[in-house]
Amino acid sequence: MKTTQELTEDRWDIVIEPKSRLLKLNLGEVWRYRDLLLSFVRRDFVAQFKQTILGPVWHLIQPILTTAMFLLIFSRIARISTDGIEPKVLFYMSGIIIWNYFAACLTNTANTFVANAGIFGKVYFPRLVLPLSVVLSNIIRFGIQFLLLLATMIFYAFKGYPIYLSFYWLLIPVLLLMMAGIGLGLGIIISSLTTKYRDFAVLLTFAVQLGMYATPIAYPLSYLEGKSYKMLISLNPITPLVETFRYSLFGKGTFDLNSLGYSFAFMLVVLVTGTLIFNKVEKNFMDTV
């Protein structure tokens, strides 16, 4: 048995205590657990297509099939303009892969608490590690799909459609960061709410499906010129990011710094709100999950 003096002299490596401030993120602690973060990234990526025949090839099949469907419905049947971007395949594929990244960050982050309740109840680690791992693992998926887009651009370059190269390509990492921030913030908010109200998980599925059509993925923003609901679509914070992504790649479309500033401000608001809610729910979510 240790004496009182020996117990007093004990030094602990980790002290687990409730957060005293709602905006406290403990990013230094997250950095110390970076190996665990990378393990979760690997788990998320590998588990998606484990025990499948094609494996990561499914990351390529999904945008190819969706692009083919959009090309048939919106180009051949509806005859919607692509804002001068030719060939039309590149217009649809670029919108699809950037939307896929946002949708995956949002839906997977929103399932953080419920899907990992078993891990949370057994061992301590910074809870922010899991949402961050979702964002990072989906960057790998985006990278694979972006390589597909580049390969398609090179293919059409040999057919007489030159690749547009400019400094605007440097905006792509910034756009991804903003996409990740909005998806992470909204996902954390929904994840915190689903610990008590599982209805939000069901509603999110519908919201993501409808959100694609409330974002200029299958059509350019210029197509809505003169229409009463253009303002509503413009208020979607993802709209400027998609339009700028296409403009960076093809030099055509809508590029507006004010709209990008609006998306950036929206990202900050949802991240701060998500942090507040996350820190509040984290203390007792195991009692309700």
What pLDDT shows up at residue 5?
A: 54
What pLDDT shows up at residue 153?
A: 94
Which pair of structure tokens corresponds to residue 251? 């030099």
On whether the CB atoms of residues 237 and 267 are closer than 8 A, the answer is: yes
Q: Which of 15-29, 80-94, 158-172 has the lowest mean pLDDT?
A: 15-29
pLDDT digits (tens, 9 = 90+) for 158-178: 988 888 888 889 999 999 999
The C-alpha atoms of residue 225 and residue 221 are separated, in whole angstroms, by 7
- pTM for the model: 0.84
* Domain residue extents for the chain: 26-45+56-287
Question: Band of the pLDDT at 72, cuts 50, 70, 90?
Answer: very high
Stretch 210-232: mean pLDDT? 88
The C-alpha atoms of residue 189 and residue 276 are separated, in whole angstroms, by 9
3-state helix, strand, coil in the chain (%, to 5): 70, 0, 30
pLDDT digits (tens, 9 = 90+) for 3-13: 555 545 555 55
pLDDT digits (tens, 9 = 90+) for 182-204: 998 898 888 877 767 676 777 88
Question: Band of the pLDDT at 30, cuts 50, 70, 90?
Answer: confident
Amino acid at 26: N
Stretch 211-222: mean pLDDT? 90
pLDDT digits (tens, 9 = 90+) for 108-136: 888 777 777 677 667 777 778 888 888 88
The C-alpha atoms of residue 15 and residue 279 are separated, in whole angstroms, by 17
Which of 214, 248, 249, 265 has the alpha carbon at shortest distance from 99? Answer: 214
